[in-house]
Amino acid sequence: MLPEDFLKRMQDQLGEEYNAYLQSLERPRAVALRLNPLKGKFPDNLPFVGENVPWEPMGRYYDPDSRPGLHPYHEAGVYYLQEASAMSAVALLDPQPGERVCDLCAAPGGKTTQIAGRMGGEGFLLTNEINPKRAKILSRNIERMGVANSLVTNEHPQRLAERLPGYFDRVLIDAPCSGEGMFRKEEAAVTDWSEETVQMCARRQAEILHSGAAMVRPGGRLVYSTCTFAPAENEETIERFLKEHPDFEPETVAAPWFTPAGPGQFRMWPHKLLGEGHFGAVLRRKGEGAPQGSGGAGEKLSPLWQQFAGEMEIKLPEGKAVSFGQSLYWAPVDMPDLRGFKVLRPGLELGLLKKDRFEPAHALALWLKDCTTVQDYGWDSQQIRDYMSGNVVKSPQKGWCLVTVDGFSLGWGKGDGQILKNHYPKGLRRVQ
């Protein structure tokens, strides 16, 4: 049962299309996933992958009965389960390799990892989440998807704006909202809804937009998105923002899949496409100019890492070393000075620097496509089930070994010539 006040407003909004909207809610949801280009070539025989999502080249609809979240490829970061309409925001953002990009409200990581895939490992991606628990989920998903050029922060947007004015080519604000577009997907969104919630969200969105705008360089792009139908959180929010920020203007972009909702604004209606409700607005900061500020200095790479990388023939992309305690990270060149930030993940975690040895991180394994010593198993093999359960597996390899599933990196093992000692993280292990 949907709230009566909500239905009345939707009838006013949609007019003749109102019944079509109600009928769309009775149909089964279209579920989708997004292939991860950072993992390389995809197998041709994924049994659960169906038609393409029109606005996302890596997006695919899938059979909900196939449960791809339980497949080993999911843990290898081969794909991300993501609602199809939610992929629209990054399609509008259109990030490019080598740019500086910020995802200001990034958890749980669907849009962030979508951005990372389009950037192809080149440039700098700052991903932020103000909620500490959700920030940890964001960090884990960035790790799973093999993203190397991302900084994960747990900050208030205003603090980032104060420290990083004009720093980014593109900023995405997927703002917290009343969630009306997810009513069919999430029952909690229905029970939590009220007109007061809509107005509260609109006030919070205005604050986040103000902070995000400060971080965009002249000539840069700001994309605002929500998963709600409420005009107060969408068109009216953008109208107020443009009045208060005359240095921004709507930007015209080609988006033939979506319904125009004003200059530079689009709606995704569930009765017009295979997906849930969404809204997106594309804004441009007037003028032209390069991003402001520069990245902080890096450190010297540890000889322990250099020895390990040499033996395993690992070549890192352009970047700089950053250490946190015993942990060694490889950060993008444009990553700024981190002092004062709440940082969860400053780039790609390489591993731990122990007293006399280097222990590689799970994140490094998921980022790698190949190295000197690899043990590959099929996705439906007993060995891969044993490995993901934390058991030892048979292997002729010696020393550190990258374990892969059908060529996709999954984790580390350490062999003695007969078996691999399991280094798959305990928190990810499955009970057979």
195-214 and 235-244 helices cross at what angle (nearest 10)?
40
**Residue 323, phi-psi category: left (phi > 0), alpha (psi -120 to 50), beta (remainder):** beta
User: 60 forms bridges with which residues in the sheet?
Assistant: 33, 52
Q: Are 129 and 107 in contact (CB under 8 A)?
A: yes
d(CA 128, CA 369): 27
Tokens of 67: 């449960």
* Alpha helices per DSSP H over 270-331: 303-312
| Active-site residue, 227 included | yes
* Alpha helices per DSSP H over 344-404: 362-367, 382-388
**C-alpha to C-alpha distances, 186 to 192, 202, 268, nearest whole angstrom:** 10, 21, 17
Nearest one of 256, 216, 209 to 105, comparing CA atoms: 209
Q: Is 80 helix (H, G, I), strand (E, B) or coil?
A: strand
The full length of the chain comes to 432
User: 403 forms bridges with which residues in the sheet?
Assistant: 375, 411
Which listed residue (102, 177, 201, 227) is catalytic?
227
Nearest one of 302, 295, 310, 306 to 346, comparing CA atoms: 295
Q: Are 174 and 225 in contact (CB under 8 A)?
A: yes
Q: Which amino acid is residue 395, in one-letter code?
A: S
Q: Is 132 helix (H, G, I), strand (E, B) or coil?
A: helix
Q: Are 124 and 96 in contact (CB under 8 A)?
A: no
Strands 393-394 and 419-422: antiparallel
d(CA 284, CA 216): 9
What's the CA dihedral at 370, 376, 378, 380 to 10 degrees? -110
Terminal-to-terminal C-alpha distance of the chain? 39
Peptide bond into 47 cis (omega under 30): no
d(CA 181, CA 76): 30
User: 225 forms bridges with which residues in the sheet?
Assistant: 174, 280
Known catalytic residues are 227
